[in-house]
Chain A
Amino acid sequence: MNTRVFAVASISLLLALITFNDLVGDWGRLEGGWSNLVIFFDESLWPPNWSVLEAQSYPVCEESIGLFCSVAWIGMVETIKIAFVSTAFGFIIALPLAAFAANNLSPKWVSFPARVILSAMRSLPSIIWAILFVIIFDIGTLAGIFAMTFYTVGYLGKLQFESMEGISNAPLEAARAMGMTRAEITYLVAIPESANNLLSHLMFMFEYNVRHGTVIGLVGAGGIGLYLNTYLKMLQYDKVVALLIIVFIVVVLIDMLSMIIRSKFTEEGDVQRPSWSTIFLPAKMASLHHHGKFVHQEDGSEE
């Protein structure tokens, strides 16, 4: 690191520390904070209350497996359904808007208004959209779907147009020179060229919507958040922790699924496509069918 970069980094860190001190104000307020957290953790949070995985007493469970009637299952499945529908709708609406917003695909007089629309949709957090749609559609999943779809369009649209702007210029030039229309360039060149990023963003958005299902549920927009809200109000924090651990596991699973899907569009994936075994196991254990030996000799002698 050269001296100039080091100086800038040091000054930035110093400024951040001064600002932090200014924001905290009275450090005396933090006295006893850690011990309070330990007490709260021991008495209220841990261990998680896994009764959320047991069948509810009402309504009567008609399933052979009690888990399917549990709060965690019903809430999580509803959250995943809301996230899936909203992500799908959001993706379909965002894609053409992103093509309009990309500077390398559309003229300025088209891209600027498209960007303004996407910014407007993004500037309202999904929880505000949820409040608006709960007012329109009443409490339930429909409000959740609309809230997440609107936010998805704004957020995903931005990620998509940035991906499209990042593609190599060569395919676009070849397409323009041969006389392709803007629609053809978008559909046949820009979208396939940025497919890896588009898929990555799509999966990220799905994961984001699953995570956010816990937030918008708090205002009555359906899903696992409704149950979280109930337990928070009843101060049953051990059940809240149990539900959050389940959300965490689902998010990790979506991330792994994303890795497998995206590998179909990368050169690395062509060499070794990930499988569930390569995700969960160390490389040596996962590649049991690779028996070859690799020896790195620096001094001419084999180790």
Chain B
Amino acid sequence: MAKLLAKLVDVSVGYETTLIDEINLEIYSGDVIAVLGPSGIGKTTLLRTLAGLIRPISGSVELKVKRRGGLGYIPQRLGLISNMSVRSNVEMGARMHASKWLPPIFPLPKKLRPIVDKALRNFDLTDFSNQPVRTLSGGQQRRVATARTVAQQPKLVLADEFLGELDDDNVEIVMKAVKATIKEKKSALVMVEHHEELAYQVANRIWRIVDGKLIEEEIQ
């Protein structure tokens, strides 16, 4: 049975002005939700509000996931540490399974290394694992950002156009690994996507933002 992971009650999001209001939605395990709409309409703001990075203007966002490691966020600019190796970036995700009291100067505990190795393998990154992220192509960097989130094994993944810049083969690699994690961990994915065709291919729910309102579309 699907488990409730997040609930939005009468939520308005925005900065100085409201971009989207009266959002009432629920996110369940197994959901793959694509958020669609033109540029500047508030898709990223909605995602950032869900991630707890900005407060909603009104209403409440209830997340039913662990504070540490329960939520994975892939920003549009990926948020990778460009000077660090691919492995170190992916290790950051796996580190969320360790105690928060583990001093950051200590290396990743040995028992968590298989999680990193598996994520590197699944995203075809093993060959570059020791390279600094800044030396990789845009598509490869997107795979690293997704691998970091998969290594984190979160209950709720929020991804801002993480399939952009990827060719068909890479979309397949990334979505295969993400869907496997969703199935295995009974988690959910909320993704902002510009390519509607792609969104309809991979998602099982569609949220469309029209005139400051969020509407859930029926999938045929």
Contact = CB atoms under 8 A, between A and B. Distances in A.
A291 B158 CA distance: 49
A170 interface: yes
A192 B83 contact: yes
Given A176-B53, A193-B83, A267-B134, A170 B75 contact: yes
A84 B68 CA distance: 41
Given A192-B84, A270-B135, A177 B103 contact: no
Contact of B154 (A178, A180, A187, A267): A178
A138 interface: no
Nearest to B84: A192
A151 B158 CA distance: 45
Given A178-B93, A179-B67, A188 B81 contact: yes
Contacts of A195: 83
Interface in B88-118: 88, 92-93, 95-96, 100, 103-105
B83 A178 contact: no
Contact of B134 (A177, A180, A189, A270): A270
Contacts of B70: 179
B83 A174 contact: no
10 contacts: A168-B77, A170-B79, A173-B48, A175-B92, A178-B72, A178-B92, A178-B93, A181-B104, A192-B88, A195-B83
Contacts of B53: 173, 176-177
Interface residues of B, number: 40
A262 B85 CA distance: 17
Contact of B79 (A171, A186, A267, A270): A171
Interface in A130-178: 168, 170-178
B52 A177 contact: yes
Nearest to B98: A184
Which of B67, B69, B79 is the most central at the interface, judged by chain A CB atoms within 10 Å of its CB? Answer: B79
Contact of B152 (A171, A172, A178, A193): A178
Nearest to B102: A184
A112 to B, nearest CB: 23
A188 B103 CA distance: 11
B74 interface: yes
Given A173-B48, A175-B79, A184 B95 contact: yes
A196 interface: yes
A171 B104 contact: no
B105 A187 contact: yes
Contact of B81 (A179, A186, A189, A196): A189
B100 A174 contact: no
Contacts of A173: 48, 51, 53, 73, 75, 79
A181 B83 contact: no
B69 A179 contact: yes
B81 A171 contact: yes
Given A170-B77, A192-B81, A178 B134 contact: no
A193 B80 CA distance: 9
Contacts of B48: 173
Contacts of B66: 179
Given A177-B158, A179-B66, A188 B104 contact: yes
Nearest to A186: B104
A172 B80 CA distance: 9
A293 to B, nearest CB: 27
B84 A179 contact: no
Contacts of B209: none
Nearest to B154: A178
A11 interface: no
B79 A174 contact: yes
Given A174-B78, A178-B93, A181-B104, 17 more contacts: A170-B78, A170-B79, A171-B80, A173-B53, A173-B79, A177-B53, A177-B158, A178-B71, A178-B92, A178-B96, A179-B70, A180-B92, A183-B104, A184-B100, A188-B92, A192-B88, A193-B82
